[in-house]
Structure 1
Amino acid sequence: MNTEAAAVDQLPLIDQEHTLLESLVPLPPGTGLVEAGCGNARLLRQLMQQHPGLRCAALEVDRIQLARNLTEPAPPGLQFIEAGAAAMPLADGWADGVLMLKSLHHVPLHELDAALDEVARVLRPGGWFYVSEPIYDGALNELIRLFNDEGVVRAEAQAALDRALARGRFCAVSEHRFAQAVAYPDFDSFEQRMMRPSFADHRLTPELIAAVRQRFEPHCGPQGARFVRPMHVRLLRRC
C-alpha cells in the first residue's frame, strides 16, 4: 500500500514553493545554499532575487541541462557545477542549507545512502536539509506512470531519509504536504516536458504515445490541461 497517498483536494495549494521554504528557514545575507539536482535552478534563482547576498552552488549531472544553465545570465553568487548528490565537490560544512527538489528519487538506488551522507558532510552542524518530493497520487501521476512509473524509486527515497535519521545523520524538524498547480497548453507540450526529458529515455513508441494522449485529452479545456500535483516536504537538520 502507498503510505504517501493523500486526498489531493484537501491539501493547501501553494503556487510558489519558495514561499514555503522562506517560512521555514532563515536566509540572511551570506547564507550558503546547495541545490543537488538543480534542473533549471528556478527556485534557487527566485530565492537569490528575494534574498540578496546568498552564495549558492547548483549541482546537476545532466550535461544538456547544465549547458543550458551556463548560457543564461546567473545572479552574483550562483555557480553551476557538474556533480551528483553522492559526490559533491564542496568542503565539509560549506553549506547552511541543502535543497533537493523532486530530485532525491532520481538518485540511483545504490547511491541513496551515500548521497545523504554527502549532504550531511557539506552541511555545517545545525544546517538544514529541505527535501521536496512528489506524492505518488493524483491524476497527473496516473498519466505519468503510463510511461515512467516512479512508485518504487519514490518510496526508496523516503526509506533512505528514514535510514539517515536512524543513523543520526539528521534530526527531523517538520513535514509539510501541499499541492502545486501544473498546466500544459496541449499534449505536445506535455510530451516534450514530461515524456522527453533530457536526463532520461522513457523508451517511447508510437503506441505508447497514443495511449498517453488518449488519457491526456479528457483533461484538456479552453485553457489547456490543468492538474494538481501533491507534494511532501521533509525538513531535517544536521545533528
Structure 2
Amino acid sequence: MSNLNYKTKKEIIIENAYRDPFLKIEDLAELADTTSKYVRTILSDANVSLMELRKEYARRIEEKKYCPSDRIILNYLSKASLFKKKNFSSSEVLYINNPLDVNNIAGQIQRNFFYQSYCLKVKKSTWGLASVFLDKRYFQEQEALSFEALLEIFNESLDGKELEISNLDIIVDLATEQISSHLGIENFSPLIRIKQNLLLKGEIVVLFLLYFDARKISFSLSHNGGITIKRRDYSI
C-alpha cells in the first residue's frame, strides 16, 4: 500500500497560507488534517503572519499588480506544485465526459474550433485530463502543442484584448466509459469536472474542460475567489 498524499502537514499549511491568506486557522487545520494549535505553531516557527499576508494582498490589489489572467484556470493550476507543467503530456484523444460539457459551442466546434488535449500524471498515475478548445479565428491551428506552449500561445494572443473570463463551473459528475478508462477508474465513479470560458466581445474563443478523479483531488473556493487544491488521502 502506498499513499499518494506525500506532502507534509507543514508544507500543506504554508503553501495554502500563501495561496489564500484569507483562510482561517481552522481552515488551514482542516486542509492539513491537523489541529488549530499545530497550525499556529507551524506559522509561528516559519515566521508567517496571516495578517501581514492579507495586508500584502490588499496592497497588491491597490497597486493594480493583480493580473486578470491569473483567473484563467490553466494559468492558476500551472503555478501549483501538484500541477507542474512537466506533469502534463499532450494527447490525441478528445476528452469529453458528457456532451453537455460543450453545449455552449456545440454548433460551432467543427467549423470554428480546434482542440488540444492533455493528461496529468503524478508519479506515473493519471490524476486528471484536460481538453482545450481554441477558436481558429484567433489562434493558428496546430497539432500536439506542449502544455507550456499552449499557455504561451493563448496568453500572448489574448494579451491586451478586452478579455472576459468566466467564473469556474465546477460539478461532480459520474465518469462515462471514455473518461473512466483514461483515468483508470470504474465507470460511474465520481468525477470532478471544471469548465471555464474565455470570451471576446461576448463570443467564446477558448473553452477549458478539466476532469479529475474525485478520490484523489479536492477543490475549495475561498470568500475572496481563490482556489485551494488539496490531495485527498487515498491509498492504492
Q: TM-score, normalised by structure 2?
A: 0.23
Q: Higher Cα Rg: structure 1 or 2?
A: 2
Q: TM-score, normalised by structure 1?
A: 0.23
